[in-house]
Chain A
Amino acid sequence: MPTAPHTARRSRWGEHGLAWAFLLPSLVVFALFIGYPLGRTIYLSGHANDLFGAPSRYVGAKHYTDLLSSADFGRTLVTTGLFTLLTVVPGVLGALVLVLLLENRIRGVRLLRSAFALPFAFSVASASVVFAVFFNPASGVLNGLLSHVGLGPVGWLTDSRYALVSVALTTVWMNLGYNVLVLSAGIASIPGEIVEAARIDGASGLRLSRSITVPMLGPNLFFLTVVSTVHALQSFGQIHILTKGGPDGSTRTLVYSVYEKAFAYNSSDFGTASAQAVVLLVVVLACTAVQFGVLERKVHYA
């Protein structure tokens, strides 16, 4: 069909206009809920606060330089890193092992699969409260079990050596449901003929898992790693309910530190809190960039 050049130009322009029109609602939402808060956070991070938390005078990069020289903040970063490792690695690997085991044709496998996915349905708050009961130093289930095998009571949440592990354990349990769900879906979408071909070639059990299932789950595993890392970096509810960052600051992650500076103990130090929030953003971006840059190269997209 012959078309005059000017019509083509106009229709292309019209197409662009249409695209922008369709994009507009999401752009507005993005600007309003992401762009504005980001700008505001950066603005606040450069200002001191008055008694009520309103920004007062401009202090430049002072909040950032203070953070860099603060031993407490260094410790917070280390805690954040540890917490991320302690939740992402066991969370993803644990879910992988469970899903691979569920591949075996055993009775009631559907029931088990649902059971393992169940934690996904728990809210952070209710899961944390349940674990707080388990961890209770006086009447907790865990110390009750330990006493049966003759081990002394452990201060799960009250001993600064164990508190971070206990919170991480809770988080792993909470994430497990979602991770199992994603990996189960991933396994279900592996083309049957590939598995069949491998079986004809004599692969089964571990060999099948190692050479076929796990590589084919690459995109899912990669997705889970990225999402779990971001989630771990942003964890708040379980820390707030279980330990409030203590004892002795041993579970104070970056997000919790932001909360403490801004809202807890009536400190209203929004300047420092905002500077920490910007650091958090940079950390998340850096982690994600590294994961996309390094890990994704090894992922096989079918």
Chain B
Amino acid sequence: MKKSARALAALLVAGLSLTACGSSGDSGSGAGSGGSADAPGAQALDQASGVTTVEFWHSMTGKNADVLNGLVSQFNAAHQGRIEVKAQFQGKYDELVTKYKAAVQQKGTPALVQVYDIGTRFMIDSRQTVPAQAFADEDGYSLDDLDPNIRNYYSANGKLVSMPFNSSMPLLYLNTDAFKEAGLDPAQPPKDLNELADLAKKLTKKDADGKTVRYGFGAAVYGWFVEELIAESGTMYCDNDNGRSDKAGKVVFDSAQGAQIVQWWADLVKGGYAANTGRVTDDAQAAFKSGTVAMHLESTGVLRGYTEAAKFGVGTAPFPKVTAADQGGPAIGGASLWISGPGHSDAEKRAAWEFEKFLTGPEQQAAWHTGTGYFPVNKKSLDDPADKEWVAKYPQFQTAIDQLKATKPTPATAGCLLGVMPQARKGVETAIEQTIAGSKTAQQALSDAAKALQPAIESYNSSVG
């Protein structure tokens, strides 16, 4: 009796442990069944009977989701009885791509999907979508209204692969009160990493006990900032011109510039001039909003939240260059919209394209810009009266507009196209942590990260052929 009870207990324990392993993926045949990359013409919708439904997966939350849903309602009202867009929130960018992969296996992709910037190479390789360029060519629709830098990011071989929708850029945020208190002029922000380090030292404040009450600098350990600084330096993140001229075969972020950036960051933390709040962006944002940090790196997307929450003057400055002589500029972040090909009717594809054109119209992008803080992808939006009024109210946003205008589209500022980009970003974050902990030099940590990434890149490239 006792023996069998013991066996039963052991079995139960084994069972418990299995529930942790159980859900490792669904079966399904490898998808990617060709699928036409041809864009149907306008007649596809005319010939369709009844209402064409467009299932639209996105990752917008909070205020951004409200504005997006408002735009969807507008579109649906204008196309009543013909097209209905059903917007569905599918979790954060990462989670959405994971769900999308499962949907591909089950042959149930949505007609339209919003995918983050660093998922671009994967979406191209998935062969599940119809390039936006194909629709534009079919219609003779001009894409010249798109901002050239943003268009550059979402182009491969000179062709627009997806429709940019929500675009953001990194900025240097300043606590102007802290600047004045330290006898510094916030109108003279640091332009490169050395200047930033000097100012960080001056802005760091200690109390009588020697405890730091304000750090000069602080940003989340977020690989995106390193990607942006490398773009600013005018150098590459991965080979083959950032994966633009041919598929990237390896990362090159372990360059002199990459090492300089990471070492600079770690030295500021180790010297006590920068707060290390870890990878969680919320914590880094909280540190800036509470005044614990005087200079801070973040996306344009948080500007509105900062100006509303901070009890001090919030200034913005162009994202710093690595050295004063750098010729690069920031790359575009954010996400774009992809129209599904395989498994979708011509009417669906066409309806999704109509919705894309609507979302990127000058008026809609102005509403999106002013409602969220994302950069308008349509150049004409900045001339919209409502938009002008908004920029006048939040002059800090002018920094982003000037910054993007000053950036020449080059492979460096286009950013790296890499199938395993999310893992590359994680590798850089680990390298920053190792350099801060002092277990490795920046050069060593980045080289190790690049080396560790190589099998993933090779296995990815071999799986897409």
Q: Note all chain A residues with C-beta closer than 8 A to B31.
A: 52, 54
Per the bound structure, the CA–CA distance linking A236 and B101 in Å amounts to 23
Who on chain A is nearest to B419 by CB? A51
Q: Note all chain B residues with C-beta closer than 8 A to A236.
A: 20
User: How would residues 264 to 292 of chain A score, 1 for a CB under 8 Å from any chain B CB and 0 otherwise?
Assistant: 11111110011001101100110011001
Q: Which of B30, B102, B221, B278 contacts A56 (CB 8 A)?
A: B30
Q: Note all chain B residues with C-beta closer than 8 A to A157.
A: 278
Q: Does B463 make an interface contact (CB < 8 A)? A: yes
A284 touching B278 in the complex, CB below 8 Å, given contacts A51-B125, A292-B6: no
Flag if B29 contacts A258 (CB, 8 Å). no
A262 touching B25 in the complex, CB below 8 Å, given contacts A52-B32, A138-B292: yes
Q: Note all chain B residues with C-beta closer than 8 A to A262.
A: 24-25
Flag if A248 contacts B32 (CB, 8 Å). no
From residue B16, how far is it (CB to closest CB) to chain A in Å?
A: 6
Per the bound structure, the CA–CA distance linking A30 and B21 in Å amounts to 15
Per the bound structure, the CA–CA distance linking A49 and B367 in Å amounts to 42
Interface size class of B (residues with CB under 8 A): 35 or more
From residue B291, how far is it (CB to closest CB) to chain A in Å?
A: 10
Stretch at the interface among A120-128, A184-192, A193-201, A226-234: A226-234
Q: Does B34 make an interface contact (CB < 8 A)? A: no
Interface size class of A (residues with CB under 8 A): 35 or more
Stretch at the interface among A31-39, A73-81, A104-112: A31-39
From residue A52, how far is it (CB to closest CB) to chain B in Å?
A: 4
Who on chain B is nearest to A35 by CB? B18
Q: Does A94 make an interface contact (CB < 8 A)? A: no
A41 touching B422 in the complex, CB below 8 Å, given contacts A51-B463, A158-B277, A248-B439: no
From residue A142, how far is it (CB to closest CB) to chain B in Å?
A: 14
In B5-23, the 8 Å CB interface with A consists of 6, 9-10, 13-23
In B271-330, the 8 Å CB interface with A consists of 275-279, 283, 286-287, 290, 292
Q: Note all chain A residues with C-beta closer than 8 A to B437.
A: 159-161, 247-248
Flag if A265 contacts B21 (CB, 8 Å). no
Who on chain A is nearest to B207 by CB? A147
From residue B105, how far is it (CB to closest CB) to chain A in Å?
A: 5
Flag if A51 contacts B98 (CB, 8 Å). no
Apart from A52-B32, A255-B20, A288-B13: 8 A-B pairs, beta carbons within 8 A: A33-B19, A37-B18, A50-B30, A51-B101, A53-B101, A139-B292, A246-B279, A284-B13
Flag if A50 contacts B463 (CB, 8 Å). yes
Per the bound structure, the CA–CA distance linking A50 and B105 in Å amounts to 10
A38 touching B24 in the complex, CB below 8 Å, given contacts A248-B434, A249-B430, A264-B94: no
A230 touching B13 in the complex, CB below 8 Å, given contacts A137-B275, A244-B279, A248-B439: yes
From residue A146, how far is it (CB to closest CB) to chain B in Å?
A: 10
Flag if A280 contacts B20 (CB, 8 Å). yes
Per the bound structure, the CA–CA distance linking A137 and B279 in Å amounts to 12
A267 touching B420 in the complex, CB below 8 Å, given contacts A54-B28, A246-B279, A247-B278: yes
Q: Which of B9, B18, B98, B277 contacts A137 (CB 8 A)?
A: B277
In B381-420, the 8 Å CB interface with A consists of 419-420
Q: Does A209 make an interface contact (CB < 8 A)? A: no
Write 12 A-B pairs (CB below 8 A) sorted by A numbering: A33-B22, A37-B22, A38-B18, A51-B101, A53-B101, A54-B30, A138-B283, A258-B21, A265-B426, A266-B98, A292-B9, A296-B6
Q: Note all chain B residues with C-beta closer than 8 A to A296.
A: 6
Interface residues, chain B, with chain A CB atoms under 8 Å away: 6, 9-10, 13-25, 27-32, 94, 97-98, 101-102, 104-105, 119, 122, 125-126, 209, 211-212, 221, 275-279, 283, 286-287, 290, 292, 419-420, 422-423, 425-426, 429-430, 433-434, 436-437, 439, 452, 456, 459-460, 463-464
Flag if A226 contacts B13 (CB, 8 Å). yes
Flag if A54 contacts B27 (CB, 8 Å). yes
Q: Note all chain B residues with C-beta closer than 8 A to A234.
A: 16-17, 20
Flag if A273 contacts B275 (CB, 8 Å). no
Per the bound structure, the CA–CA distance linking A152 and B275 in Å amounts to 13
Q: Does A155 make an interface contact (CB < 8 A)? A: yes
Flag if A49 contacts B463 (CB, 8 Å). yes
Q: Does A25 make an interface contact (CB < 8 A)? A: no
Who on chain B is nearest to A229 by CB? B13
Who on chain B is nearest to A282 by CB? B17
Q: Note all chain B residues with C-beta closer than 8 A to A54.
A: 25, 27-31, 105
Per the bound structure, the CA–CA distance linking A264 and B14 in Å amounts to 26
Q: Note all chain A residues with C-beta closer than 8 A to B460.
A: 51
Flag if A44 contacts B24 (CB, 8 Å). yes
Per the bound structure, the CA–CA distance linking A54 and B104 in Å amounts to 10
Flag if B102 contacts A53 (CB, 8 Å). yes
From residue B306, how far is it (CB to closest CB) to chain A in Å?
A: 15
A56 touching B94 in the complex, CB below 8 Å, given contacts A41-B22, A150-B209, A248-B430: no
From residue B269, how far is it (CB to closest CB) to chain A in Å?
A: 10
Q: Note all chain A residues with C-beta closer than 8 A to B16.
A: 230, 234, 284
Q: Note all chain A residues with C-beta closer than 8 A to B463.
A: 48-51, 56
Flag if B14 contacts A155 (CB, 8 Å). no
Flag if B30 contacts A52 (CB, 8 Å). yes
From residue A36, how far is it (CB to closest CB) to chain B in Å?
A: 9
Q: Note all chain A residues with C-beta closer than 8 A to B287.
A: 137-138
Who on chain A is nearest to B25 by CB? A270
Q: Note all chain A residues with C-beta closer than 8 A to B24.
A: 37, 40-41, 44, 258, 262, 270, 273-274, 277
Per the bound structure, the CA–CA distance linking A50 and B27 in Å amounts to 12
Q: Note all chain A residues with C-beta closer than 8 A to B277.
A: 137-138, 158
Who on chain A is nearest to B284 by CB? A138
Who on chain B is nearest to A71 by CB? B452
Q: Note all chain B residues with C-beta closer than 8 A to A292.
A: 6, 9-10
Who on chain B is nearest to A288 by CB? B13
Q: Does A263 make an interface contact (CB < 8 A)? A: yes
Q: Which of B17, B278, B419 contacts A281 (CB 8 A)?
A: B17
